[in-house]
Amino acid sequence: ISDDALLQAAKLLDQYHCDFDGGLIVNLAPRRLPKTLAFLASKKIAADLDLALKSVVRGDDLETIQVLLDAGADPLAGVALSSALSDAAWAGRTASVSAMLKAVKDKAAPKVITAYEGALRKGFAETAQAFVDGGVRPPPVVVPTSSPCEAKELTAEQRRLLARLSLPNANGLAGLAGNMSCKLIQECHDLVLIDCNSAADGPAYYIDQKTPKILATCGGACMRGCTGCPPKQWDCSCLR
């Protein structure tokens, strides 16, 4: 049945003072009947407009979406962070997102940001741009900072230090886990912690660069028999 025919039927029933059930709006919303929906909505019948909106936003029926928004449907209604706006964003429905954003007053609301980020994660660049065009300010990109204990390449001076102390260098010996590649873990005043695959069977050295002197050999090389690890002179955060 066409939208026009159903609208005429609804108007005829209204003339005879028939009561319309609120479930009609929810049931008819996905069927692309915007004129009939607008008429039913004008009767102020009790209906779950938010549910009706969620049922149509994954399509391209902008007329129905607008009718429901005009009737008071909330694009952000839903459990937890779910919403009609999120449904549209995660389906890449750019036009639906643009239409609903016009009805959203708080563009910085958590549900708005969740919907925006969902579009980005799904790879819908145009949909994400619709948020920006609609007045949403993307949250700042947080650049992860490297851990202070993240392994780094040895400097030339540190490689010479290992050689001077007759310790394995980056080209050094092989252990049970393979070649031992020595890395700088942390410098702590005059001290330095150098790890040569200690997670396996390699050593980790606490070295006084100034002396120079090995303060402690730790890690897998001592087969759980390490003593003085870390040495008492070491007061920095990274440990092996």
Q: Are residues 46 and 127 in the same domain?
A: yes
Q: Are residues 153 and 100 in the same domain?
A: no
Q: What is the mean pLDDT of residues 131-144?
A: 85
Q: Are residues 121 and 231 in the same domain?
A: no
Query: Which structural domain, as residue segments, surrounds residue 15?
Result: 3-133
What's the pLDDT band for 18 if we cut at 50, 70, 90? confident
Q: Are residues 184 and 80 in the same domain?
A: no
- Which helix (H) or strand (E) element contains residue 218? strand 213-219
Q: What is the CATH number of the domain that holds 53?
A: 1.25.40.20
How many separate domains does the chain show?
2
Q: Are residues 11 and 84 in the same domain?
A: yes
Which of 74, 98, 133 marks a domain boundary?
A: 133
Q: Is 222 exposed, middle or buried (0-12, 13-18, 19+ CB in 10 A)?
A: middle
Output Rg (C-alpha) for the chain, integer angstroms.
33
pLDDT, one tens digit per residue, over 186-214 is 888 889 999 887 776 778 889 999 889 99
Does the pTM surpass 0.75? The reply is: no
Q: Are residues 80 and 9 in the same domain?
A: yes
Q: Are residues 228 and 195 in the same domain?
A: yes
Q: Are residues 110 and 91 in the same domain?
A: yes
Contact 186, 149 (CB under 8 A): yes
